Amino acid sequence: MATVISTPAERLQNHPGTVEQHWREHPRMAQVPEVGAAQLVPAGSRAVVVAPHPDDEVLGCAGLLMALAQAGRDILLIAVSDGEGSHASGSAMSAGLLAQLRPAETIAALGVLELVQVDIMRANIPDSRVAEHRLKLQDLLLAYVQRSDTLLASWHLDGHPDHDAVGEVCRDVGRRIGCHVIEVPVWLWHWRQPDDGDIPWHSARKLALDQEQVERKAQALQCYRSQLEPDLSTGNAAVLSNEVLAHFLRPYEIYFV
């Protein structure tokens, strides 16, 4: 049974989440096979990141994107929403303000990662309502994605309605076009436990990040100020608490291939 709570900030108030140490020490994590960036996105394939909100591109795949960029690979970021729904209604961080701030935070973060050649396409789909607008997202992807691309989508069981919808649409588009789809878990690390039955460990792959990449990713994440600071106007905690951020400062990233 799901309680309907409208914003990530409000949902997070009531859920302590799974601590990062529990993931790191779990045998399932140790057993995930390692892959290289070129195995995830083969030579000649463009990486198309489909990010539900501004920050998911860096939370989920900063390390992979840095490795691909270093190899001179083409990267397209499809920003599904502008992230205007992250704060509670009545917050001084209004939807209008967030829609300005959050895409700019992504630009700054990509700059820190030196991903200067990334093309960005903004789909302008309303935050928190991707499921309602799945046809618009589907049409956009069918128009722009090529068979040789590798789609990097949020995991379709990630536990955030927008992430789930993006994952579902990308899986469907992948089947239609015949392109490879990799799913990127983000909220899984907060909401789930390692032994949950629906985590597809058999398809999980681990991309190792070196120390410099981890540090650069940590710096890039600091660009998402709107998500990192408590909302003084409502008393809500930061969307990305230190406990949540810890999941994304591992020396590896996990992908479902």
Find the part of the chain contacting Zn ion (CB under 5 A) among 56-64, 129-137, 167-175, 234-242. Answer: 56-64
The strand pair at 75-79 and 119-122 is best described as parallel
DSSP state at residue 127: T
- Smallest distance, Zn ion to C-beta of residue 36, A: 26
Q: Which residue among 52, 63, 85, 185 contacts Zn ion (CB under 5 A)?
A: 52
> Partners of 27 in the beta sheet?
none
Q: Tally Cβ neighbours within 10 Å of residue 24.
A: 14
Residue whose C-beta lies closest to Zn ion: 53
- Smallest distance, Zn ion to C-beta of residue 139, A: 21
Q: Tally Cβ neighbours within 10 Å of residue 99.
A: 18
- Select from 224, 217, 249 the least CA-distant residue to 65: 217
- Smallest distance, Zn ion to C-beta of residue 134, A: 16
What is the distance between the alpha carbons of residues 196 and 11, in angstroms, rounded to a whole number? 20
- Give the footprint of Zn ion on residues 92-151 (CB under 5 A): none
Find the part of the chain contacting Zn ion (CB under 5 A) among 53-61, 69-77, 119-127, 227-235. Answer: 53-61
- Give the footprint of Zn ion on residues 156-185 (CB under 5 A): none
What is the distance between the alpha carbons of residues 125 and 81, in angstroms, rounded to a whole number? 5
- Smallest distance, Zn ion to C-beta of residue 55, A: 6
Q: Which residue among 20, 56, 57, 82 contacts Zn ion (CB under 5 A)?
A: 56
- Smallest distance, Zn ion to C-beta of residue 104, A: 17
Q: Which residue among 53, 87, 102, 217 contacts Zn ion (CB under 5 A)?
A: 53
- Select from 188, 236, 167 the least CA-distant residue to 59: 188
84 binds Zn ion, rule: CB under 5 A: no
Find the part of the chain contacting Zn ion (CB under 5 A) among 47-55, 73-81, 221-229, 245-253. Answer: 47-55
Measure Cα distances from 216 to 17, 58, 106, 112 in Å.
25, 11, 14, 7
